[in-house]
Chains A and B, each alone.
Chain A
Amino acid sequence: MAVCIAVIAKENYPLYIRSTPTENELKFHYMVHTSLDVVDEKISAMGKALVDQRELYLGLLYPTEDYKVYGYVTNSKVKFVMVVDSSNTALRDNEIRSMFRKLHNSYTDVMCNPFYNPGDRIQAFDNMVTSMMIQVC
């Protein structure tokens, strides 16, 4: 389903980024990077007063020819970015939301681990993320 999943820290550096087709990874990294601008735009558009009510799921950030990029921000400004294949039309919004929720939960679990220093690369996501990704033929 997802082609690339990335977790970006508050300071906009990646904590975890993974994409399924191992070639062309750079392209996905670039897409994620550019999507950060869109994420910031969406966050700031909400306004300060609405911070509490701001929904965590940002929805479709922008579509490209081949891919669609979805975003999700936590209350601590940790961003999850997911790139999905455009050809995968069966993917509905709810599914994306649930995937983000799973990501968020796993991220929380990682945070709970006292041996994890916030700001380190996250090593523990792989199992969960591979379940979300499919092998793109």
Chain B
Amino acid sequence: MEAAAAAAAAAAAAAAAGGGCGSGPPPLLLSEGEQQCYSELFARCAGAAGGGPGSGPPEAARVAPGTATAAAGPVADLFRASQLPAETLHQITELCGAKRVGYFGPTQFYIALKLIAAAQSGLPVRIESIKCELPLPRFMMSKNDGEIRFGNPAELHGTKVQIPYLTTEKNSFKRMDDEDKQQETQSPTMSPLASPPSSPPHYQRVPLSHGYSKLRSSAEQMHPAPYEARQPLVQPEGSSSGGPGTKPLRHQASLIRSFSVERELQDNSSYPDEPWRITEEQREYYVNQFRSLQPDPSSFISGSVAKNFFTKSKLSIPELSYIWELSDADCDGALTLPEFCAAFHLIVARKNGYPLPEGLPPTLQPEYLQAAFPKPKWDCQLFDSYSESLPANQQPRDLNRMEKTSVKDMADLPVPNQDVTSDDKQALKSTINEALPKDVSEDPATPKDSNSLKARPRSRSYSSTSIEEAMKRGEDPPTPPPRPQKTHSRASSLDLNKVFQPSVPATKSGLLPPPPALPPRPCPSQSEQVSEAELLPQLSRAPSQAAESSPAKKDVLYSQPPSKPIRRKFRPENQATENQEPSTAASGPASAATMKPHPTVQKQSSKQKKAIQTAIRKNKEANAVLARLNSELQQQLKEVHQERIALENQLEQLRPVTVL
């Protein structure tokens, strides 16, 4: 136990080096035994707020997901059990950084334990003291307190109890020490520890500080009562010293149990690298966000997409730049899924006040993330479900999608499809709700919010609202899925959609304004030509133009080899609208076959005349298409203007209020 305590401090210091504590303690190395003991202690303290101590594993299970902080009460008791003077304890608390950050994360806890060991060895309470080899800190352990606390979790939900905690803390201090004055002046400093205690087991549902503080206060009141104690929590006064013999035994048993549970939950629990380890919920959330930007989980998010997305987190540009540097390990200007998760995690950590690390922590390395959270199956499943449900939609949407897939084929970047497919995704959400094991398809905002809440236990402890806001800000913009900015050199799928889905553009244009920038219209002539060419087959569906466009398309196809695959797909559409759906594969070879006789025929006839005629037709059609595009863009522009006016009105309304 003692060895473990020292080990934990070293581990904590190592974690601090990882970036948890910032200017706090220097890096330490914990021995194995130290690490074990410290982690157990920490789990105990963290779990102390959770529930009955009798249920060790379930409790640890509750504790595990995102155990971020040790509840201040058990920690305080533990420290008092070390039988150091209160002044020393306060020094230690200060040094380990808990006061600065407002709670006892594993980092702080371990450092504190190491400092306690140092103090008990007679060394001055300094950061330097913990750099050397130390025996483990000794605690007069008793398992009573924990039991009491745990016994009343059910009753204790509710409001903040900062003041009651303060008073109880004061009382306990007085009991413990003769230095009343110091205690009284210093005990208020303990209350910050109380206010943001994060009871990991509660974090899924309840604002942590509240539940625990209540727990704490009632637990304190029950101090004098007899205890059944299995959790070896600290009981300061003489009552504990009465039973060191028996208690260490029980202590050992619970230690072993909690230790084993901790070991098996190590992957998920926040361990020494606590701020930089991604929990399951966080990971899911990040993957969802990734998918909202880029449907294919195995490809990248381009730099500009990621930039827009991360800018919404409202961090400063230099910080975002630094985070990008850290997370883009291969420096290719694009983020793969693990890189994206790392970047997102860093952003979240930064928003919660963690200083950015010097280098990418090992738990955020892409290889580590790939290994730790390989979810290809899940991703594929989701992806497949998306693609499966694609055919389930109505024909126009199918056509839409076909066009999109055709555009996909042409586009170099996978990125551009996200707006389109995400649009589909929203429409498909209802259909694939059941298919998905996760709540991705459901109302994206609220589950994601709750996920974010779950995923941020440490942050919740003292900045819950900011996290939610950050998450919401991070979420809201992604949820209006169509990101028209993601254009590619060829005709953007947006254009196609607008031309051929008269109903869809209405909705799409409604969704378009939220994204800040309108798509940079790609103006290279080739794209125009290509868009014309692509639109041609679409137009050809209109019966009036069917016949005309076929030779035109022929020529167009002939003259623009790169676009051939797409036109081949659409070729049969000329003949029959029913062929639209199977056009992709079957029509491909068919049209290829039909293509071949045509050039020969062309050659035989007067080339020039036909060429001119086809060119004229092409241009006319292009004109028509462009005119239509123009009108639709004008509509969009009007809508955007209206929105802008509405926003300005709102601003005006708000302004007088602030002036007053």
Q: Is the CB of A123 within 8 A of B331?
A: no
A130 vs B322: C-alpha distance when bound (angstroms): 18
Q: Is the CB of A123 within 8 A of B303?
A: no
Which of A27-35, A63-71, A109-117 contacts the other chain?
A109-117
Chain B residues 291 to 338 lying within 8 A of chain A, measured CB to CB, are: 302-304, 306-307, 310, 317-318, 320-322, 324-325, 328, 331-333
Query: Is residue A134 within 8 Å, beta carbon to beta carbon, of the partner chain?
Result: no
Given A108-B331, A123-B318, CB of A113 within 8 Å of CB of B306? no
Chain B, interface size category, equals 10 to 19
Query: Is residue A124 within 8 Å, beta carbon to beta carbon, of the partner chain?
Result: yes
Q: Is the CB of A114 within 8 A of B333?
A: yes
Closest partner residue, chain A, to B306 (CB atom): A114
Most buried by A among B307, B317, B321, B333: B321
Main secondary structure of the interface of A (DSSP, over half): loop
Query: Chain A residues near B331 (CB, 8 Å)?
Result: 108-109, 112
Q: Is the CB of A113 within 8 A of B318?
A: no
Most buried by B among A113, A116, A123, A124: A113
A10 vs B443: C-alpha distance when bound (angstroms): 49
Query: Chain A residues near B304 (CB, 8 Å)?
Result: 114
Given A123-B318, A123-B321, A124-B321, CB of A115 within 8 Å of CB of B328? no
Interface 1/0 per residue, B5-42 and A, CB below 8 Å: 00000000000000000000000000000000000000
Chain A residues 76 to 126 lying within 8 A of chain B, measured CB to CB, are: 108-109, 111-116, 123-124
Closest partner residue, chain A, to B331 (CB atom): A109
A113 vs B320: C-alpha distance when bound (angstroms): 9
Chain A, interface size category, equals 10 to 19
Q: Is the CB of A112 within 8 A of B333?
A: yes
Q: Is the CB of B332 within 8 A of A112?
A: yes
Give, as a whole number of angstroms, the nearest-CB distance from B301 to chain A.
10
Give, as a whole number of angstroms, the nearest-CB distance from B145 to chain A.
48
Q: Is the CB of B332 within 8 A of A115?
A: no
Most buried by B among A108, A111, A114: A114
Main secondary structure of the interface of B (DSSP, over half): helix
Most buried by A among B302, B304, B317: B317
Closest partner residue, chain A, to B358 (CB atom): A127
Q: Is the CB of A115 within 8 A of B321?
A: yes
Q: Is the CB of A116 within 8 A of B321?
A: yes
Give, as a whole number of angstroms, the nearest-CB distance from B35 to chain A.
31
A123 vs B306: C-alpha distance when bound (angstroms): 20
Q: Is the CB of B333 within 8 A of A115?
A: no
Closest partner residue, chain B, to A124 (CB atom): B325
A49 vs B304: C-alpha distance when bound (angstroms): 35
Closest partner residue, chain A, to B305 (CB atom): A114
A114 vs B321: C-alpha distance when bound (angstroms): 8
Most buried by A among B304, B317, B325: B325
Closest partner residue, chain A, to B334 (CB atom): A112
Query: Chain B residues near A115 (CB, 8 Å)?
Result: 307, 310, 317, 320-321, 324
Query: Chain B residues near A111 (CB, 8 Å)?
Result: 333
Query: Chain A residues near B332 (CB, 8 Å)?
Result: 112
A108 vs B330: C-alpha distance when bound (angstroms): 12
Closest partner residue, chain B, to A123 (CB atom): B318
Give, as a whole number of angstroms, the nearest-CB distance from B85 to chain A.
44
Query: Chain A residues near B322 (CB, 8 Å)?
Result: 123-124
Query: Chain B residues near A108 (CB, 8 Å)?
Result: 331
Query: Chain A residues near B328 (CB, 8 Å)?
Result: 112-113
A108 vs B304: C-alpha distance when bound (angstroms): 16
Closest partner residue, chain B, to A114 (CB atom): B303
Chain B residues 185 to 228 lying within 8 A of chain A, measured CB to CB, are: none
Interface 1/0 per residue, B89-110 and A, CB below 8 Å: 0000000000000000000000
Most buried by A among B302, B306, B333: B333
Query: Chain A residues near B333 (CB, 8 Å)?
Result: 111-114
Most buried by B among A108, A109, A112, A123: A112
Query: Chain B residues near A114 (CB, 8 Å)?
Result: 302-304, 306-307, 324, 333
A124 vs B306: C-alpha distance when bound (angstroms): 19
A89 vs B306: C-alpha distance when bound (angstroms): 47
A109 vs B328: C-alpha distance when bound (angstroms): 9
Give, as a whole number of angstroms, the nearest-CB distance from A124 to chain B.
6
Query: Chain B residues near A116 (CB, 8 Å)?
Result: 321
Give, as a whole number of angstroms, the nearest-CB distance from A12 to chain B.
24
Query: Chain B residues near A109 (CB, 8 Å)?
Result: 325, 331
Query: Chain A residues near B306 (CB, 8 Å)?
Result: 114
A124 vs B358: C-alpha distance when bound (angstroms): 12
Query: Chain B residues near A113 (CB, 8 Å)?
Result: 303, 321, 324-325, 328, 333
Chain B residues 331 to 348 lying within 8 A of chain A, measured CB to CB, are: 331-333
Give, as a whole number of angstroms, the nearest-CB distance from B510 to chain A.
28
Query: Chain A residues near B325 (CB, 8 Å)?
Result: 109, 113, 124
A4 vs B304: C-alpha distance when bound (angstroms): 33
Query: Chain A residues near B318 (CB, 8 Å)?
Result: 123
Query: Chain B residues near A124 (CB, 8 Å)?
Result: 321-322, 325
Closest partner residue, chain A, to B316 (CB atom): A115
A65 vs B582: C-alpha distance when bound (angstroms): 78
Most buried by B among A108, A115, A116: A115
Give, as a whole number of angstroms, the nearest-CB distance from A29 to chain B.
24
Query: Chain A residues near B302 (CB, 8 Å)?
Result: 114
Closest partner residue, chain B, to A110 (CB atom): B325
Chain B residues 154 to 168 lying within 8 A of chain A, measured CB to CB, are: none
Give, as a whole number of angstroms, the nearest-CB distance from A126 to chain B.
12
Q: Is the CB of A112 within 8 A of B321?
A: no
Give, as a whole number of angstroms, the nearest-CB distance from A41 to chain B.
33
Give, as a whole number of angstroms, the nearest-CB distance from B278 to chain A.
22
A111 vs B321: C-alpha distance when bound (angstroms): 11
A3 vs B40: C-alpha distance when bound (angstroms): 52
Chain A residues 4 to 47 lying within 8 A of chain B, measured CB to CB, are: none
Interface 1/0 per residue, B274-304 and A, CB below 8 Å: 0000000000000000000000000000111
A111 vs B331: C-alpha distance when bound (angstroms): 9
A109 vs B321: C-alpha distance when bound (angstroms): 11
A109 vs B320: C-alpha distance when bound (angstroms): 15
A94 vs B321: C-alpha distance when bound (angstroms): 32
A interface list, Cβ under 8 A from B:
108-109, 111-116, 123-124
10 A–B contacts from the bound complex (CB under 8 Å): A109-B331, A113-B324, A114-B303, A114-B306, A114-B324, A114-B333, A115-B310, A116-B321, A123-B322, A124-B321
B interface list, Cβ under 8 A from A:
302-304, 306-307, 310, 317-318, 320-322, 324-325, 328, 331-333
Which 3 interchain pairs have the tightest Cβ spacing? A114-B303, A112-B333, A114-B307
Beyond the given pairs A109-B325, A113-B325, 17 more chain A to chain B contacts, judged by CB atoms under 8 angstroms and listed by A's residue number, are A112-B331, A112-B332, A112-B333, A113-B303, A113-B321, A113-B324, A113-B328, A114-B304, A114-B306, A114-B333, A115-B317, A115-B320, A115-B321, A116-B321, A123-B321, A123-B322, A124-B322
